[in-house]
Amino acid sequence: MKKKDIKILLVDDEPDILEIVGYNLSQEGYQIVTAENGKDAIAKAKKEHPQLIIMDVMMPEMDGMEATEAIRKMPELKDVIITFLTARSEDYSQVAGFDAGADDYITKPIKPKLLVSKVKALLRRLKDDDGKSSETLNVGGIEINREEYKIIKENTEIVLPRKEFELFYLLASKPGKVFKRDEILDKVWGNEVIVGGRTIDVHIRKLREKIGDDFFKTIKGVGYKFEV
């Protein structure tokens, strides 16, 4: 996907942040849409269908956590990448952010060049998706449609955020294979994306809750595997 076709929604209650971040990303060729609070973000996301949302956490009317949870419930926005923008002084939990449905987080203040690099890394998977062929897996009585990001278990559709789906698809693609943590980070998040050490653990916990605890095995000190 070309830069001119990529739309980024910036959500922050500070006009200076919207101006600075928006300017630097627009200079890269991206389309920029802005919102000043969580409620506005939901409305803009519905209307604009962005590929990436950069979401402030602490905002009036509705904070970033609530807005993200609401957006993740919308089928038409299931593929959007969401990263939180947080101040170093805020009492912010990475685990809480991932639980809300965020793919990553950016800590402010951040230098413009670093911000642009971070955004490029987050968007890199959009290019990767262009070359992927349609493929459906059937493992353990579960149907996984890679093209449609759809999971059917016992005739019931299970909706997963994008990162959870990609992690599940990776593990389920080779049942019994132990995927090392570094390999998971590289294939699901990309080796240019900096994420916290507990990122994988949080996503595995969510998958166990939604798919079933018995499918996911922890290999201490190594990684995870999918068993049927």
Alpha-carbon distance 51 to 2, whole Å? Answer: 12
What pLDDT was estimated at residue 89? Answer: 59
pLDDT exceeds cutoff 50 at 146: yes
Which pLDDT band, with edges at 50, 70 and 90, does 149 fall under?
confident
Residue that wins the pLDDT comparison between 135 and 149? 149
Dihedral-angle region of residue 212 (phi above 0 means left; psi in -120 to 50 means alpha; beta otherwise):
left
Q: Is the pLDDT of residue 204 over 90?
A: yes
Roughly what angle, to the nearest 10 degrees, separates helices 64-72 and 38-48? Answer: 30
At 44, list the tokens: 């803009």
For residues 63-68, average pLDDT:
94
User: Per-residue pLDDT for 67 more than 70?
Assistant: yes
Q: What percent of the chain has pLDDT over 90?
A: 49
Helices (H) then strands (E): counts for the chain:
8, 12
- pTM, two decimal places: 0.62
Task: Identify the helix (H) or strand (E) that includes residue 223.
Answer: strand 223-226
182: pLDDT strictly greater than 90: no
36, two tokens: 């000043």
pLDDT score of 78: 82
Q: Predicted confidence band at 208 (pLDDT cuts at 50, 70, 90)?
A: very high
Instruction: Compute the CA torsion angle 76, 166, 123, 63 (nearest 10 deg).
Output: 60
Q: Does the pLDDT at position 94 exceed 60?
A: yes
User: Residue 170 — pLDDT band, cuts 50, 70, 90?
Assistant: very high
Strand order in the sheet with 156-158: 136-139, 142-145, 150-153, 156-158
Whether residue 1 has pLDDT greater than 80: no
Q: Which of 15-19, 75-79, 105-109, 121-125 has the lowest mean pLDDT?
A: 121-125
Determine the Cα–Cα distance for residues 114 and 118; give it in Å rounded to an integer.
Answer: 6
pLDDT at 129 over 60: no
Q: What is each CA distance from 195 to 52, 58, 165, 174, 186, in whole angstroms?
A: 17, 20, 17, 24, 11
- Lowest model confidence (mean pLDDT) among 1-15, 42-56, 86-100, 213-227: 86-100
Which helix (H) or strand (E) segment holds residue 41: the answer is helix 38-48
